[in-house]
Amino acid sequence: MTILAIDTTSQWCSVAIYFDQQNYFFKHEQLGNTASQRLLDFVADVLDQAQLTLEDISAFACSQGPGAFTGIRLGIGVSQGIAFAQNKPLIPISSLDGMVANTWLTRPELFHNQSVTVAMDARMNQMYTGEYQQNDGAVPHSIRPIQLQDDLTQSQSDSKLLVSYQCAQYESFGSTFKSVIEATPHALGIAYLASLLSNLESYLPEYCQPLYIRDKVAQTTLERTQINLS
């Protein structure tokens, strides 16, 4: 099975094609707000790397969030368009799941069958956090829903490893963890997790929905003022 995945939930534009743990291709660059102008070029570039066409792809996958609201919508919209055009499944995977999976794929020696916290900056002085557990050397699996937090000390007390994206500015960052890995949301992790699923024909493109965690885009002027005064 060949998976093509997209993740644009952060400042990074990420596209990957996954065959197996020894055969995969990706393009992953920090583009900021220009991802919408380059995403289709990234898809074409990765297909060229793998010497494939869209017709060769078994299923598509994308990050459904959380992350930047515009980036979530961009990744889902483009993925849905391609999947509809090819009449292929589209598998939604959370950005935090993809981030921990990519870190495990590329640096498996760091995990040691332990509990893991994954954190991503959510702006507005908060983080998106997820709790994971690794067993028998396999990819860490989620053990509780993604949450919105302002303090990493609220995370699972026995987590020994922190995988984080842009969270170093928080006062509690890393203080309760044995080791910290800096990572980014990555399409390779999304593609790998999609490859583990069965019954792919049930993942119709129209069912792929954003995972925002919160529905508030920005703070009011009063809220920003109160934070600055505190």
* Average pLDDT taken over every residue of the chain: 90
Locate 51 and state its tokens.
């010497």
Strand 179-182 to strand 161-165: parallel, antiparallel, or no bridges (unpaired)? parallel
Q: What are phi and psi of 104, to 5 degrees?
A: -65, -40
**Same fold? 3-95+185-207, 110-182:** yes
What is the value of pTM for the model shown? Answer: 0.90
Please give the CATH number for the structural domain made up of 110-182.
3.30.420
pLDDT tier for residue 178 given thresholds of 50, 70 and 90: confident
Would you kindly state where each structural domain of the chain is located, as residue ranges? 3-95+185-207, 110-182
Lowest mean pLDDT among 97-111, 132-146, 172-186: 172-186
Paired with 62 in beta bridges are: 6, 92
**Position 157 pLDDT exceeds 80:** no
Q: Rounded mean pLDDT of 180-198?
A: 97
Q: Rounded mean pLDDT of 86-93?
A: 98
**Position 228 pLDDT exceeds 60:** no
pLDDT tier for residue 116 given thresholds of 50, 70 and 90: very high
**Position 99 pLDDT exceeds 50:** yes
* pLDDT score recorded for residue 202: 94
Share of the chain above pLDDT 90, in %: 80
Fold type of domain 3-95+185-207: Nucleotidyltransferase; domain 5 (3.30.420)
pLDDT tens digits, 51-84 = 999 999 999 999 999 999 999 999 999 999 999 9
